[in-house]
Chain A
Amino acid sequence: QQQVKQSPQSLIVQKGGISIINCAYENTAFDYFPWYQQFPGKGPALLIAIRPDVSEKKEGRFTISFNKSAKQFSLHIMDSQPGDSATYFCAASFNKFYFGSGTKLNVKP
């Protein structure tokens, strides 16, 4: 049973466009929601994270939107660049991390 559901599985965006990846969870005990970025041949690395007492967090071109009542959160990448092409994982944490299934983002030049 997957605790965190992520969509879409893959995403193609033109350079300069907005990339949006969505995640949903069921367990209201989750209290930390990070996004990890993974390049081919590398391990995942923390990109940005949010706690449920905040509805939005922005770091540069990356924004997390969090909807506690809907139990959903999303990653928005503004002005997407080819260098953003990677696999993105959402996660939710309570006593351990539960990862989404990943979204492979391809930003076309």
Chain B
Amino acid sequence: DTAVSQTPKYLVTQMGNDKSIKCEQNLGHDTMYWYKQDSKKFLKIMFSYNNKELIINETVPNRFSPKSPDKAHLNLHINSLELGDSAVYFCASSQEGQGVGGELFFGEGSRLTVL
């Protein structure tokens, strides 16, 4: 049974469109995250939620909007997609917040390609 699952695995869309990526974790963790991995494999945190409350909001364009309906789910909605949004987006969760060095459990990623 997958611990952190995200859908869809692949997304191909045109510039200007809106898309969403969904994430669910069945580990009972309180904290969930969205990371972006660019073409050079660099991993950068975008958002962090603790028990549905936004904790970390990095310098991310406001076209990106996370939503956490409950502590097991964290979705990412992207408006007006741009070419530079093409990347692999990873959802992750941890038992504790990042400040105490909790292990991050990553999903398998959602590869977004904007044409």
User: With A96-B56, A99-B42, A102-B42 in contact, is A43–B106 under 8 Å at CB?
Assistant: yes
The smallest beta-carbon distance between A1 and chain B, in angstroms, is 12
| Cα-based distance from A95 to B79 in the complex (angstroms) | 29
Stretch binding the partner chain, chosen from A15-23, A45-53, A77-85: A45-53
| Cα-based distance from A108 to B90 in the complex (angstroms) | 29
| Cα-based distance from A18 to B69 in the complex (angstroms) | 47
Please count the residue pairs between chain A and chain B whose beta carbons lie under 8 angstroms apart in the complex: 56
| Chain B interface, >50% SS class | mixed
Q: Is B107 in contact with A43, judged by CB distance below 8 angstroms? A: yes
Q: Is A95 in contact with B107, judged by CB distance below 8 angstroms? A: no
Whether a CB of chain B sits under 8 angstroms from the CB of A42 is yes
Set of chain B residues within 8 Å of A41, measured between Cβ atoms: 108-109
